[in-house]
Structure 1
């Protein structure tokens, strides 16, 4: 990553006002959003929204033509262009022809996208943003940090300072007073403006209508007071039928600000009369700027289902730490990364795509059903295809793909790390590696990996077999988790098989865009894991489980390696995470646990891949309680711990505060033990508590259950 980009991250992280404001909002948002959707079927609603948006995206040209015909039949003038420069030329020529000297604006990220304000100012035309947040940003000389709340990063003290300079009066931080100042300053601008420029939340082809959603009412003034109204709308805002408006209006305020509804919904269908009786000019510009191209791309077409609610930003653990400006000057957050790669250029996303930790929070709450993490992974892939892998990364993956070399190096590392390790941890590393132990200790490589322990485990012969896929961490850092897994399955009458040919699951390569490396990992593991007949392939690592059950097939298919698809599907059908399998075996009466009173109070941390991709969250909780543990839920139990695989090594400055927050939430439960199903999370959280000397034990669920087996 570039030095300037790293510097921008550090500036954001060290801005207490920024992180404080975003942190409080994020906490409140999750609670309030849940209340806003209470009693509604969110999955059904977002399926309806996604279907309506996707249907229009599949036929953008036809839908745009219908919209143009219907809007023009009502008296509007519709201009459609693929070139953002033509948009600016159209508006500037219109302003020149009509003698426009002043413009008021509302609700338009599209104007930010093409830097319209600068073009107008260069022609001597005054421009006033009228959304309160946008006006604050304009006075501050900044760009929006959020799609819906552009000034969310600013405190009331900062706003008071900006307003004081604008009105040449010392203002307090009294919010009603500041709002009154804004109203008094903006009102004359509305009355004097020759042209109003707005965006549009929805454009309805069936009726030629544009729909505007606001909380302040300023959009109504922008669209009604000036004699000319220009609506600049990206073609992705198009829907075919008017019936699609209601579901979007149900989802938009609830997802954007956790409101049941917004204060103003304006539906503009054709021009309206001016005060003097003349007809207002209504110009609707449908801007493309690669949106049609995006609609034709099978990987990115889904991005056009976005309704610009910003919910992906509101739940992102990275956004709430660094804010929007680190992502760039226009669109922010995960969706902003994707839009930047398309509307600007791929290389502009080179640094910001690395901010995504792949936790999946955004995917879970998106009312348009966008898989933002998947699209960001595709950006990484295309960057690798365009620029190649970084040399260090290429060397690392070259080692990982050589199973014997990789395992040999891990064994050697166990010896080499001894001078830096103590009590199973590496607490300090020298020189340029020091950042890796800043905020957490690292696990020492086990003296005896699981693959060496496994042949010594005495197992009962059984007809039912499970192939155990250990993954790198359980194999070489936490072999005790593997031993616990074998104990659990043996007790249920299942013999465990451990193919030594298994190797890295490919997740590190996949999440860094090196799909060819990940595909080779997939092939190697398919061959290893399917060489014996078994009913199950079981893993105690959710990331590895996701790779085996979901990613192998997709990766191979994306590279055209269809000869392995059948085997990949066979492997996926057999793959199961440990908690799901143990819960099934317990329900069948094949496993039981000792009953006991007064056992340790524990809390549980949901691993991102387990909860959001594998949809497993209740199973481990039920098992732990059946085993006699008292479960105390922590605050934000399903928020990322900051591990993210190699993320914690690439961006330790972001990973560390996420971890710190997680450790605090665990400690506040008062539980002496925290359970989890992911060895990566164990590594992160156990290492954090070691450096804090916090006294909380960190255990994999498998170990806690194995300790309580009956008999």
Structure 2
């Protein structure tokens, strides 16, 4: 029986072992990673990684040819493969030519990407994963749930059960004993293998060298003991010089496993003798598989700056809840969604891209400075263009794009909601609207919107003026928030105006791939807000502020609307979130507590968009 995507989500959420394993890891990771970077300038490190990888992405062909020349001069054979079929055909032909019956592998996401094991096993060749996590999931016939820790979704009890069922009965859930057991079982595989297959973390064009960064030592055995070594390397692993290895070595262990350095850093350059003195075969396959196409795409080229540290998974709140077997295909999480769309095909990312909640946590920790949230939004846009949007969704966004109709319907809804509203929230909507409140409560619509109550606020005449951008929530659900903003700014000597032409910020449309609707919203708001000639445009909604400061520009860029970008930049320069503006006014002495007035103690929750996108972490405090 086929499990639907929604059913797989529910199964993951109901799995206490998964929740416990990923939850414990996520909490511990944040603390240990911070310690690993103590005394280092992470921003400088990631700048260096970005520069090295961005250069590589822009010069793939040049670096691949330079690597081939240097590696072959050192005795290796380098094969340029355009797609998975060519990689598999080359390795199979090599195996048959050399009478290979047994292969040992070290961890390699590139070989997972092309499903190499299944292909070789179908030809009667035994293939053994030797990374502990990879061996565990091989025994389970699973794919990796994490790019660095493939079996992180499993508890020690589950691993003991797998070993007892698949290898030898009687294994206990004791981690040191399980590791010792695995080591003993795998040792003979290394000695008997005819071929070793590895990946590589870095390929250096200047020297023709491969760099492998590992912890278990199995990669050294895989690459040295068998008489043939095959390395399958995605061309995005290429860097220009050996000096370029340093920033990646600084970032990869710290971001992946919170280590200062991994247990083993191996550099392989050219051919070496076998134990019997015969020359060892070294075959390096530089695999493209649409990486060149990605490099030619100005929007997605930055995804090739990924160093496969998986830190984006480690901080992702969705991955923490459902794991990589739900949030991903071969590659997992946010970056995995992007790689799936390119290395496989766009439609394969359709379900998983919807799991990204645009919190920005991945962008904050990515050592390659990849804007993963923005790239996922671009995937949504392209998916919407390719397959179209559902009829109901199209109808909703058509309404949102018509300000007068949209606002009229919201006013009508404030009356129609009464049977379903209680305590400021709407629950249990009927008929085709039931999905909206199936698992959440929606904010009730206020009896009178802020645009009406604003007209009744008596303000002092001030030279300095600010336009308030209310957004849908403050305007139609929480008008009291808007009124509070006005009072505070009045105390600082700022008069507030409410441009009547303002409408939805377009975030809902943009986050669903409906960029044309978002662009229409953006143009309406820019016109309304710039007409006022104010010093500031202030918003108390972080998501709306992000829209005004960043999303309008990004939407126009994606749609090629160059003529609209100038005004969008003007609006962005005037726009401030409310907390940042208040902090500025306090620092200027224009707002202060009255003598003897005590500040209340409150619990404050950082908004994702305020903290991570707008970087306004200290201002609210």
1:64-115 alpha-carbon deviations (Å, 9 max, x no partner): 0000000000000000121210100000000010000000000211111111
Q: Distance in 2 between matches of 1:436 and 1:513?
A: 19
1:502-521 alpha-carbon deviations (Å, 9 max, x no partner): 00011111111111111111
Residue matched to 1:18: 18
**Deviation, structure 1 residue 428:** 4.0
| Local SS of the residue matching 2:603 | strand
Q: 1:442 to 1:54 in 2, by over 3 A?
A: same
**Deviation, structure 1 residue 422:** 2.7
User: Conserved in 1, the CA contact under 8 Å of 2:22 and 2:152?
Assistant: yes
Superposition map of 1:86-235 within 5 A? 86-235=86-235
**Deviation, structure 1 residue 561:** 2.2
**Deviation, structure 1 residue 279:** 1.1
User: Conserved in 1, the CA contact under 8 Å of 2:329 and 2:336?
Assistant: no
| Local SS of the residue matching 1:221 | helix
Tell me whether 1:373 sits opposite 2:373 in the alignment: yes
Tell me whether 1:553 sits opposite 2:549 in the alignment: no
The aligned length equals 620
**Deviation, structure 1 residue 603:** 1.3
Residue matched to 1:407: 407
**Deviation, structure 1 residue 438:** 5.6
Q: Distance in 1 between matches of 2:250 and 2:553?
A: 36
| Local SS of the residue matching 1:148 | coil
1:451-477 alpha-carbon deviations (Å, 9 max, x no partner): 110110011111111011100000000
1:206-239 alpha-carbon deviations (Å, 9 max, x no partner): 0100001111000000000000000000000000
Q: Distance in 2 between matches of 1:341 and 1:439?
A: 29
1:511-553 alpha-carbon deviations (Å, 9 max, x no partner): 1111111111111111111112111111111111111111112
**Deviation, structure 1 residue 595:** 5.0
Q: Distance in 2 between matches of 1:59 and 1:456?
A: 62
1:568-602 alpha-carbon deviations (Å, 9 max, x no partner): 12111111111111111111111112355765421
Q: Distance in 2 between matches of 1:306 and 1:167?
A: 36
Shifted more, 569-578 versus 145-154: the winner is 569-578
**Deviation, structure 1 residue 17:** 0.3
User: Conserved in 1, the CA contact under 8 Å of 2:107 and 2:129?
Assistant: no
User: Conserved in 1, the CA contact under 8 Å of 2:329 and 2:340?
Assistant: no
Residue matched to 1:630: none
Q: Distance in 2 between matches of 1:557 and 1:155?
A: 46
**Deviation, structure 1 residue 25:** 0.3
Superposition map of 1:198-597 within 5 A? 198-430=198-430, 433=433, 436-437=436-437, 440-594=440-594
User: Which structure 1 segments of 5+ residues have no match?
Assistant: 622-711
Q: Distance in 2 between matches of 1:331 and 1:424?
A: 42
Tell me whether 1:7 sits opposite 2:7 in the alignment: yes
Q: Distance in 2 between matches of 1:7 and 1:443?
A: 27
Q: Distance in 2 between matches of 1:20 and 1:430?
A: 36
User: Conserved in 2, the CA contact under 8 Å of 1:107 and 1:200?
Assistant: no
User: Conserved in 1, the CA contact under 8 Å of 2:145 and 2:324?
Assistant: yes
| Local SS of the residue matching 2:206 | coil
The two structures have a TM-score, normalised by structure 2, of 0.98
User: Conserved in 2, the CA contact under 8 Å of 1:143 and 1:330?
Assistant: yes
User: Conserved in 2, the CA contact under 8 Å of 1:107 and 1:198?
Assistant: yes
| Local SS of the residue matching 1:447 | coil
Q: Distance in 2 between matches of 1:529 and 1:430?
A: 37
User: Conserved in 1, the CA contact under 8 Å of 2:105 and 2:130?
Assistant: yes
Residue matched to 1:663: none
Q: Distance in 2 between matches of 1:313 and 1:242?
A: 28
1:13-43 alpha-carbon deviations (Å, 9 max, x no partner): 1111001100110000001100000110000
| Local SS of the residue matching 2:105 | strand
Q: Distance in 2 between matches of 1:435 and 1:561?
A: 35
Q: Distance in 1 between matches of 2:221 and 2:48?
A: 32
Q: Distance in 2 between matches of 1:596 and 1:617?
A: 27
Q: How large is the RMSD of aligned CA atoms in angstroms?
A: 1.4
| Local SS of the residue matching 1:350 | helix
Q: Distance in 1 between matches of 2:569 and 2:176?
A: 61
Q: Distance in 2 between matches of 1:379 and 1:435?
A: 24
Q: Distance in 2 between matches of 1:547 and 1:598?
A: 35
Q: Distance in 2 between matches of 1:595 and 1:440?
A: 44
Shifted more, 95-104 versus 532-541: the winner is 532-541
User: Conserved in 2, the CA contact under 8 Å of 1:331 and 1:340?
Assistant: yes
1:610-647 alpha-carbon deviations (Å, 9 max, x no partner): 111111011111xxxxxxxxxxxxxxxxxxxxxxxxxx
Q: Distance in 2 between matches of 1:96 and 1:424?
A: 71
Q: 1:444 to 1:309 in 2, by over 3 A?
A: same
Q: Distance in 2 between matches of 1:392 and 1:596?
A: 56
User: Conserved in 1, the CA contact under 8 Å of 2:147 and 2:332?
Assistant: yes
User: Conserved in 1, the CA contact under 8 Å of 2:216 and 2:263?
Assistant: yes
Q: 1:566 to 1:599 in 2, by over 3 A?
A: closer
Q: Distance in 2 between matches of 1:262 and 1:479?
A: 54
Q: 1:328 to 1:544 in 2, by over 3 A?
A: closer
| Local SS of the residue matching 1:603 | coil
Q: 1:213 to 1:412 in 2, by over 3 A?
A: same
Q: Distance in 2 between matches of 1:347 and 1:484?
A: 46
1:380-438 alpha-carbon deviations (Å, 9 max, x no partner): 01011111122111111011111111111111111011122233233443466555446
Q: Distance in 2 between matches of 1:167 and 1:358?
A: 43
| Local SS of the residue matching 2:282 | strand
Q: 1:348 to 1:251 in 2, by over 3 A?
A: same
